[in-house]
Amino acid sequence: MSKFVADVLVSTEWLAANLQEPNIRIIDASYFVPGGVEKARQLYAEDHIPGAAFFDINAFADLSKPKEHAFPTAAIFADKAGKLGISNQDHVIAYDRLGGTCAAARAWFMFRAFGHDKVSVLDGGQTKWAGENRPLTKTVPDLVPRAFSVRELPGRLYGKAEVLANTTRRGFQILDARSAGRFAGTEPEPRVGLRSGHIPASRNLPFMALIDGPTKTWRDPAAIAKAFADAGIDLSKPLTTTCGSGVSACALALGAFLAGKADTAIYDGSWIEWGGDASLPIETGT
């Protein structure tokens, strides 16, 4: 195999040239709101990048918790990754159908949170790949289980109690990836039963602002850094991202990484947890 370079993004040209390398493991980590995993699985069955296994974010989860795709324990993640045929020597390429923002960035964040840095996101995802007339297939690869060991990195995940305490202590910045309307409380939530608004003292940066619309590729680091600054975020200070269910929060974490910040945390409960708990404070407006 060619020398590994731990680039956070890989191009479609790079993947096409390295598609047959023995230590490349490709995962389709698509997820949709609405539609969820089932819509993504149906599209995977219709076509996907050759060699790609389906990465089910609802299965890579702690099923003992009530929230959909709750962040997995280290043991769960090691078991699930190994069953996808991934070893610690492999370079994982995650993609989805929205440039990496839903939910390839979530897969990327998980691998890194459990100590596996050899993971990249396909820039432009399947949209760009297919638009370039690159090969697609219906064939599901035979997955040979492998041993996959993890080390859980501290400070990558925050819970409700820590976020609630932070609304007064202000020890870290909170950045919300949802749309401006959902953040302000002027648009309804796509999930039934959730209040409208946002976590007090949080800021808003809709995750698609980091993506070039026509190509579904990530903007350059300077433009991404400016988007964070325009949202009122200082990337030199601690940052935790949030969203609807913990998926697009990881897109902001990936964006921060591209802009030079490698230690962003996520609030995994996100608005499913916060907006669904009437005892927690909310704010509306911008």
Bridge partners of 119, per DSSP, are: 92
Q: What is the mean pLDDT of residues 252-268?
A: 97
Domains and CATH numbers, the chain: 9-131 (3.40.250.10), 157-274 (3.40.250.10)
Is residue 243 annotated as a catalytic residue, yes or no? yes
Select which of 52, 122, 209, 243 is catalytic.
243
- Residues 208 and 218 sit within 8 Å (Cβ to Cβ): no
Determine the Cα–Cα distance for residues 67 and 22; give it in Å rounded to an integer.
Answer: 36
Residue-wise pLDDT tens digits, 5-45 = 348 999 999 999 999 999 999 999 999 988 899 999 999 99
- Sequence-distant (6+) residues with CB within 8 A of 3 are none
Q: CA 71 to CA 265: how far, in whole Å?
A: 12
- pLDDT tens digits for range 142-183: 999 999 999 988 889 999 999 999 999 999 999 999 999 999
Strand order in 173-176's β-sheet?
157-158, 265-267, 239-242, 173-176, 203-204
pTM score, whole prediction: 0.95
CA distance 162 to 151: 22
